[in-house]
């Protein structure tokens, strides 16, 4: 009986599955939104939530655990510097899965090869700091005046 065995196997070996989910979470960390199949999104959600929890702890040990799981130091750096501080007041539920397509299964957007349901995996309430469109002049500098004709 399969009681309490909820790992989605996704038709892969354990090493392949772990590497694929780590790459998917790294893409989520870097790009803030990933489009994938619904099954992969549901499997990657738990990994992403655990990585944010590690990021909120902020210790050296948690950073090493995150790098060991994700295999990408640059993604772990973004996780600890940008994403985890954005969720400091939130107790879980850091990601959202949005199904693509219509409301019924017949009209839902599907993958072309195997007709798998597609979904978007993204961060909840994450607002990336966007650079300002107009930069302020540095100390001692003045803006050039427009010529009047």
Angle (CA) 68-43-9 rounded to 5° is 95
94 pLDDT band, cuts 50/70/90, is very high
Q: Inform me whether the pLDDT recorded for 130 exceeds 50.
A: no
Residue 136 lies in a domain: no
Q: Classify residue 86: in a domain, yes or no.
A: yes
Rounded to an integer, what is the distance from CA 30 to the centroid of its chain? 7
Mean of pLDDT values over 79-86: 95
pLDDT > 90? residue 5? no
Q: What is the CATH number of the domain that holds 110?
A: 3.90.1030.10
Task: Decide if 24 is inside a domain.
Answer: yes
Phi, psi of 62 (to 5 degrees): -70, -35
**Residue 32 domain-assigned?**
yes
* CA angle (28, 22, 44) in 5-degree steps: 65
Let me know: does 28 contact 35? Beta carbons within 8 Å.
no
Counting other chains too, the contacts that 23-28 makes at CB distance below 8 Å and 24 or more residues apart are 24/121, 25/51, 25/70, 25/75, 26/70, 26/71, 26/72, 26/75, 28/95, 28/121, 28/122, 28/123
90 or 143, higher pLDDT: 90
Q: Domain of residue 35: give its range.
A: 14-123
Is residue 79 predicted with pLDDT exceeding 60? yes
* Statement: residue 73 has pLDDT above 50: yes
Give how many domains the chain has, as a whole number: 1
Who has greater pLDDT, 32 or 115? 32
- For residue 8, is it within any domain? no
Average pLDDT over every residue of 58-82: 96
């Amino acid at each position: 009986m399969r009681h309490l065995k909820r790992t989605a196997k996704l038709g892969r070996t354990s090493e392949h599955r772990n590497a694929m989910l780590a790459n998917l979470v790294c893409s989520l960390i870097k790009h803030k939104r990933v489009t994938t199949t619904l099954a992969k999104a549901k499997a990657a959600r738990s990994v992403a939530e655990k990585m944010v929890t590690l990021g909120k702890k902020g210790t050296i040990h948690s950073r090493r655990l995150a790098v060991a799981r994700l295999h990408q130091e640059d993604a772990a750096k973004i996780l600890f510097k940008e994403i985890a501080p954005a969720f400091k007041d939130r107790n879980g539920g850091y990601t959202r899965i949005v199904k693509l397509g219509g409301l019924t299964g017949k009209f839902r957007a599907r993958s072309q090869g195997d007709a798998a349901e597609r979904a978007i995996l993204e961060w909840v309430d994450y607002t990336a700091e966007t650079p300002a469109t107009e930069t302020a002049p540095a100390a001692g500098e003045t803006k050039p005046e427009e010529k009047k004709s």
